[in-house]
Chains A and B, each alone.
Chain A
Amino acid sequence: MVISNKALRFIIATFVICLPFISIANSEPATAAVEVNSEVKEVTNVSKEEVASEERAEFIQHHLKDSHDFHLFSYGKESGHEKHVGFPLPVILWDNGLQFFSSSKFEHGEAIAESNGNYYKISHHDGMIHKTDAAGLESEVKPLDLSITKSVVMILITALLMFLIFRNLGKSYAKNGGIATGIGRFFEPLVLYVRDEIAIPNIGEKHYKKYMSHLLTVFFFIWFLNMFGLTPLGVNVTGNIAITAALAIITYLITTFTANKNYWGHIFWMPGVPAPMKIILAPIEFLGTIIKPFSLMIRLYANMLAGHVVLMSIIALMYTFSSPIGSPLSFILAFVLSILEILVALLQAYIFTMLTALYFGAANEEHHHEEAH
């Protein structure tokens, strides 16, 4: 390895240590939102509460969505010119050839970006990039967006983190005589848990090995991204239906292409029931194979989205009450709920892996009940 192990560990440790600091910084936009109300009230007749609650709803909406820049926090809204802290990400569009430019050109969705004579704008309605003319008149045309968005960045970081951790774990066995070292000591029991408690009981001793790579990847990918979602980085990757859909489609494809003939026999020509019943059961069973991964997709997406909405709403309650009794109460509630969300993060990764293993097991079941019918 080019970089020594120690330096890498230092980088990861620094990254983790820095997270709480971003947390303090990240809570500022909401504070700013409350402070700005005192001025708004003087200018317009709209009530203070209405504006504040609207801003909070907008803040939560913004948090749940994917975005084209990595926005950490904003300040200075009350003085008129708001400053955003974060970093821009590359925008890649396919529209009359490849368009490649930095998202800083959008100036946080306020400005029109120009690239090779084409003009683009982030729509306020759906948060997607729309084509505009030079004056900024929005059209319905949406170019194919292949940008490196916030979610993509987090997926890449998670992939890198997983690669480093598990490569390290794998290599440490040879070096240390079969005993894991360092952070691998934490992850080794989890890997063994996935093998001994999820894969072997559900798939069986004979076939489990070829599915282990998928099960382990899915388990740690979902768990890491769920945990990143709880950090104040403000990412919501597993609460994005496109990502859970991709995971579910991979599960569906593996189930379909590794299934044995008993699996298909039980779907299209169910043994042990009368012939008319077989014809009725075939479409139902076939639909079942699609509904299974569909429910995987919805379950993970809805759980993570709901968790984020509830947590953010309770944090917003602190500013709604803004009293010495109500605010600490909702703070405690948010704290307890955060701990619950840590449990949910692991539980959802476990359930996704468990059900995936269950479907793989069904695809590999041997025909073992000849006497029964």
Chain B
Amino acid sequence: MEGTLNLVGAGLIVIGAGLGIGRIGGSAMDAIARQPEASGKIQTAMLIAAALIEGIGFAALFAVK
């Protein structure tokens, strides 16, 4: 029973991480569309933020494993 709950928790975290990265990507698209000349800086910031969230997602997966 405990194992199943762990899996559900990890699933929730992964859903959260996915939504978060999706939002970052979408917002970066918006920002680039508004200011194409700043696309380089926006991409860098987007990648860093996405990488940080991704780290949480992986940590959740490894905690279950």
Contacts and interface: CB of A to CB of B under 8 A. Distances in A.
Interface string A271-310: 0000000000000000000000001001100110000000
A191 interface: no
A358 B48 contact: yes
Interface string B13-34: 0000000000000000000000
A298 B55 contact: yes
Interface string B37-65: 00010001001100110110011011000
Contact of B44 (A299, A302, A303, A354): A354
Contacts of B59: 295, 298
A197 B47 CA distance: 13
B61 A302 contact: yes
Contacts of B54: 299, 303
Contacts of A347: 47
A355 B62 contact: no
Contacts of B40: 197
For the complex, would chain A's binding face be called helix, strand, loop or mixed by DSSP majority? helix
Interface string A251-285: 00000000000000000000000000000000000
B58 A298 contact: yes
Contact of A351 (B47, B58, B61, B62): B47
A298 B51 contact: no
A322 to B, nearest CB: 31
A318 B11 CA distance: 28
Contacts of B52: 295
Contacts of A298: 55, 58-59, 62
A302 B58 contact: yes
A351 B51 CA distance: 7
A303 B57 CA distance: 11
A17 to B, nearest CB: 34
A295 to B, nearest CB: 4
A220 interface: no
Contacts of B48: 351, 354-355, 358
Interface in A317-362: 347, 350-351, 354-355, 358
A351 B58 CA distance: 15
A347 B44 CA distance: 11
Contacts of B55: 295, 298-299
A215 B27 CA distance: 29
A354 B51 CA distance: 10
9 contacts: A197-B40, A295-B59, A299-B51, A299-B58, A302-B61, A303-B54, A303-B58, A347-B47, A351-B48
Interface of A: 197, 295, 298-299, 302-303, 347, 350-351, 354-355, 358
Given A299-B51, A303-B58, A354-B51, 13 more contacts: A298-B55, A298-B59, A298-B62, A299-B55, A299-B58, A347-B47, A350-B47, A351-B48, A351-B51, A354-B44, A354-B47, A355-B48, A358-B48
**When A and B form their complex, which 3 residue pairs have the shortest distance between CB atoms, in order from nearest?**
A302-B58, A295-B55, A351-B51
